[in-house]
């Protein structure tokens, strides 16, 4: 499991899907994601060029934010002479640890990047811990 936490902030974390997901869909773990913390919000960037924004599904289930991509049935039916890029379904999931105002989450897909903005809840700022 990859953690996006640091010593200053116990924020949210990425939830991996273990060995099964890599066997079922080897591309799922290769979808790059960057997470950035700002003063009042978090930003998640999912780098997924050439995909249709309508095929993305962003959902909340309890404290877990899921980002899914399911290509249309028409995708991949062409005969290719050579193919290195495959549009395969994937899912990434993040645990929010009660730090996000879920009613204010926004998402947009532009120039191959799905960008989510997650506003912080008031009072969920991290605490600085001095090292002795």
User: What are the tens digits of pLDDT across the range 36-49?
Assistant: 999 999 999 999 99
Structure confidence at residue 78 (pLDDT): 74
Mean pLDDT within 74-99:
83
Mean pLDDT within 2-31:
46
H helices within the chain, ranges in order? 18-24
How many domains is the chain partitioned into structurally?
A: 1
More confident residue, 82 or 125: 82
Q: Which residues pair with 128 in a beta bridge?
A: none
Note down the domain range covering 26: 13-72+87-119
In a domain, 108, yes or no: yes
C-beta of residue 97 within 8 angstroms of C-beta of residue 112: no
CATH number at residue 66: 2.60.40.790
Mean pLDDT of the chain: 78
Structure confidence at residue 67 (pLDDT): 95
In a domain, 125, yes or no: no
pLDDT confidence bin for 10, thresholds 50/70/90: very low
In a domain, 132, yes or no: no
Handedness of CA 104, 101, 110, 58 (dihedral sign): negative
């Amino acid at each position: 499991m990859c953690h996006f936490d640091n010593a200053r902030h116990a924020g949210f974390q990425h939830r991996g899907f273990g060995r099964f997901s890599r066997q079922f869909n080897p591309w799922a773990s290769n979808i790059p994601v960057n997470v950035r913390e700002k003063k009042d919000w978090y930003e998640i960037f999912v780098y997924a060029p050439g995909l249709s924004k309508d095929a993305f599904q962003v959902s909340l289930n309890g404290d877990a934010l899921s980002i899914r991509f399911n290509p249309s049935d028409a995708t991949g039916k062409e005969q290719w002479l050579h193919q290195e890029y495959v549009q395969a379904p994937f899912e990434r999931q993040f645990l929010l640890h009660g730090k996000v105002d879920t009613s204010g989450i926004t998402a947009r897909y532009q120039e191959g990047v799905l960008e989510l903005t997650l506003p912080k809840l008031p009072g969920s700022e991290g605490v600085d811990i001095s090292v002795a």
